[in-house]
Amino acid sequence: MEKGMNELDSDFTLELNAEGVGETTEAELFDEADRRLRQLAKGNNDMTGAAITIRQPAHGETPYLYEAKVVVYARPEAIVATGQKDHATTALKEALGAVERQVRNRREKLGKHWEQPGNDPVTQEVIEVEAAEATTSTQEQK
């Protein structure tokens, strides 16, 4: 199942691949993911798309029945989360919750650009003064 988030925002594409859940459940899972990711993307341009895979691992190999993997294509890099539960819906909700937390944390971190390495105003001024002095001294030597 694949569709754009809305008619106005055709740049964002959501793709859902679900194994062994039935068409009705797959449509419900898609609607849940679409609603939550649309809300997360609202007012921001860092998310460009998402791919969701819901599968049933081989029987007897795991203590859970469904695994949901959500990959959000976001700038500057993709965000991935996995949910593992007894039901496809709860596995998807767990993975979406983890992705939402990661996106919000990244936005908060990127929003505080002054806390990023190399963005200290005093350090920037010292670098600019040193560069200006080096240029002046090079010109004077000619």
User: Both 71 and 134 in a single domain?
Assistant: no
Model pLDDT for residues 59-74, shown as the tens digit of each residue: 666 667 899 999 999 8
Q: Are 102 and 120 members of one domain?
A: no
Q: Per residue in 27-38, pLDDT tens?
A: 999 999 999 998
Residue 7: per-residue pLDDT: 36
- Residues whose CB is less than 8 angstroms from the CB of residue 26 and which lie 6 or more positions away in sequence, other chains included: 1, 16, 18
Number of domains in the chain: 2
Are 84 and 128 in a shared domain? no
Structural domain of 79: 2-111
My answer on whether 8 and 65 are in the same domain is: yes
Contacts of residue 13, Cβ cutoff 8 Å, sequence gap at least 6:
2, 3, 4, 5, 49, 50
Are 71 and 99 within one domain?
A: yes
Cα 67-101-22 angle, rounded to 5 deg: 30
Q: Of 19-23, 26-30, 37-41, 44-48, which range is least confident? A: 19-23
CATH number of the CATH domain containing 84: 3.30.160.100
Average pLDDT, the chain: 82
Same domain for 103 and 84, yes or no, is yes
Q: pLDDT category, 91, cuts 50, 70, 90?
A: very high
